Amino acid sequence: MADQDDKPMAGAKPNLPPLSLHVPEPQFRPGDDVDYSNVDIPPAGKQPRPDIGATPYDMREMVYDLVRVLDDDGKAVGPWDPKLKPDVLIKMLENMALVRAFDERLFRAQRQGKTSFYMKCRGEEATSVCAAFALASDDMVFPSYRQQGVLIARGYPLVEMVNQIYSNKGDKLKGRQLPIMYCSREHSFFTISGNLATQYPQAVGWAMASAIKGDTRIAATWCGEGSTAEGDFHSAATFAAVYNAPVILNVINNQWAISSFSGFAGAERTTFAARATGYGMAGLRVDGNDALAVYAATQWAAERARTNQGPTLIEYFTYRAEGHSTSDDPSAYRSADESKEWPLGDPINRLKQHLIQLGEWDEDRHAAMDERLANDVKAATKEAEKNGILGHGLHQPFETMFQDVFEELPWHLKEQSEQAARERAKKWPE
């Protein structure tokens, strides 16, 4: 590289070309036409299903393939077809539709000032709902911030979710967490953290503890593809592989972080599933918009973990159909045509078409379901609003800010609490 005077940099050898860096650039920017013809989408049903006890070496090609079950006609084909009964498929469809209805209403609530923040998972519903269906109800999950579908699939009350989002007096987390960062011990749902990838070593550690105790519960965790660049991801992968931890490491490759595309996390070089090969663990790359493929991959990985065959890393190839959060404007960094041109379609619509193809569903029943779910979400939000919304009072009592950190309140915090109470009484005597 030369300076402004075109003189060689100190130490540069004149007989060698100057060094340069590669800076990844997305294919499409705002205003660009979208062409996904370079995305390799293999035919559904052509991917082999390895034996549960297959070695990572023997299944290494799976990290470059794409496990698919639903074909373009909505038929379930190939060895990965989990052959679920129609009532289970309808229940999965209903849960995904409920997640979407919940997202739509709470997104509007944020725009109305009822909460400070919200994150939707439109286009990614299958990666949480269908995975939850394939896990045991008491398997411990360590989610990222787009796995509300796991809670919903496990029957967590919608009112409790809304209370947490509004940080009102009904919020079981007492307003201490950013909206959508839920937690439920009863539903084996570990507290969501805003720090990227911290849930990965936590999940692996929990799985190792489960194995040490001789328990039968496994762990599953999720992160976005951008989080695979975090050190916590790699520490977790090392421990999982070395100690054969009974854990499923899910990577949601939705193509975009908040403003940078997946290339900055390494997508230009290889698949995210290929990281499994480097660590010596089983890896699968899966169509994340195929509900049956998500279920089948999770079921396979869960059985592998439960029979002491070790961890599995699953990359779900999907697409974030909307903004990263209510704080994001994706039109500033990506083409408006990307979502509608995405070649793997929409997970809800694909499962709907499969059920219609089976003769178990139709458009009228689907429309009626959507209306019923929208009303259920509306009723839940109205009930939660009785406990207050952001900035409208009815929040947690003041003294709770000193509680729940120590089993017994230390003397210095007790003094601070008493002092704060006295000052509040002077300032707001009513």
pLDDT tens column, 43-84: 999 999 999 999 999 999 999 999 999 999 999 999 999 999
Residue 7 has pLDDT above 90, yes or no: no
For the entire predicted model, the pTM comes to: 0.94
CA-based nearest residue to 301, from 236, 247, 361, 251: 247
Domain boundaries, the chain: 60-329+338-385, 399-427
Query: Which H/E stretch holds residue 375?
Result: helix 363-385
Residue 251 has pLDDT above 60, yes or no: yes
**DSSP code of 333?**
T
**DSSP code of 211?**
H
Record the tokens describing residue 31, joined without a space.
Answer: 């205003």
45 in Cβ contact with 71 (< 8 Å): yes
Amino acid type, 138: D
280 in Cβ contact with 241 (< 8 Å): yes
CA distance 208 to 219: 9
343 in Cβ contact with 41 (< 8 Å): yes
CA-based nearest residue to 225, from 249, 200, 254: 254
Residue 1 has pLDDT above 50, yes or no: no
The predicted-structure confidence for 404-427, as pLDDT tens digits, reads as follows 889 999 999 999 999 999 999 999
The stretch 25-32 carries a mean pLDDT of: 92
Q: Which residues contact 7 (CB under 8 A, 6 or more apart)?
A: none
216 in Cβ contact with 135 (< 8 Å): no
Phi and psi dihedrals of 21, rounded to 5?
-105, 150
CA distance 277 to 51: 17
**Which of the four pLDDT bands, split at 50, 70 and 90, describes residue 5?**
low
List, in sequence order, the alpha helices (H) in 280-362. 291-306, 338-341, 347-358
User: Quick one: pLDDT at residue 98?
Assistant: 98
User: Quick one: pLDDT at residue 8?
Assistant: 62
Strands 282-287 and 312-317 turn out to be: parallel
Residue 386 has pLDDT above 80, yes or no: yes
The stretch 119-134 carries a mean pLDDT of: 98
User: Quick one: pLDDT at residue 10?
Assistant: 75
User: Quick one: pLDDT at residue 397?
Assistant: 85
List, in sequence order, the alpha helices (H) in 154-309. 158-166, 199-212, 231-242, 275-279, 291-306
Class of domain 60-329+338-385: alpha beta
Question: What is the overall mean pLDDT for the chain?
Answer: 95
Residue that the structure tokens 């787009």 belong to: 146
**Which of the four pLDDT bands, split at 50, 70 and 90, describes residue 2?**
very low
- Please work out, in degrees rounded to the nearest 5, the angle formed at the alpha carbon of residue 139 by the alpha carbons of 217 and 299: 95
Phi and psi dihedrals of 62, rounded to 5?
-65, -20
**Which of the four pLDDT bands, split at 50, 70 and 90, describes residue 6?**
low
